[in-house]
Amino acid sequence: MFLELSDVQKSYLDSSGSKFQVLGPIDLKVETGEFICLLGPTGCGKTTLLRILSGLEKSDRGEIGRGAGRFGYVFQQGALFPWMNVESNVMFPLKAIGMHGSECRVKAERILKMVGLYEFRKSFPHELSGGMQQRTALARGLVTEPELLLLDEPFASLDARTGINLQEMLRNLCGRLSTTVIFVTHNIEEAVYLADRIIVMGHRPGRIVRNESLDLKWPRDRLSNEFTEVLLSFRRTFEELVDPSTSSSS
Q: Does 73 bind another protein (CB under 8 A)?
A: yes
Q: How far apart are CA 162 and CA 160, in angstroms?
A: 6
Q: Which helix (H) or strand (E) holds 200?
A: strand 197-202
If the CB atoms of residues 98 and 219 are measured against another protein, the closer one turns out to be 98
Please report how close the Cβ of residue 97 comes to another protein at its closest, in angstroms. Answer: 5
The edge-to-edge listing of strands for the beta sheet with 61-66 is 19-30, 3-13, 61-66
Size of the site for another protein (CB under 8 A): 25
DSSP state of 120: G
Q: Hey, which residues between 25 and 54 contact another protein (CB under 8 A)? A: 54
Of 105-113, 139-147, 185-193, 225-233, which segment contacts another protein by CB under 8 A? 139-147
Q: Tell which one of 79, 156, 164, 177 touches another protein (CB under 8 A).
A: 79
Of 14-22, 88-96, 104-112, 164-172, which segment contacts another protein by CB under 8 A? 88-96
DSSP assignment of 4-58 equals: EEEEEEEEEE-TTS-EEEEEEEEEEEE-TT-EEEEE--TTSSHHHHHHHHHTSS-
Query: What are the residues binding another protein (CB under 8 A)?
Result: 54-56, 70-73, 75, 77, 79, 81-83, 92-93, 95-97, 124-126, 140-141, 144, 150
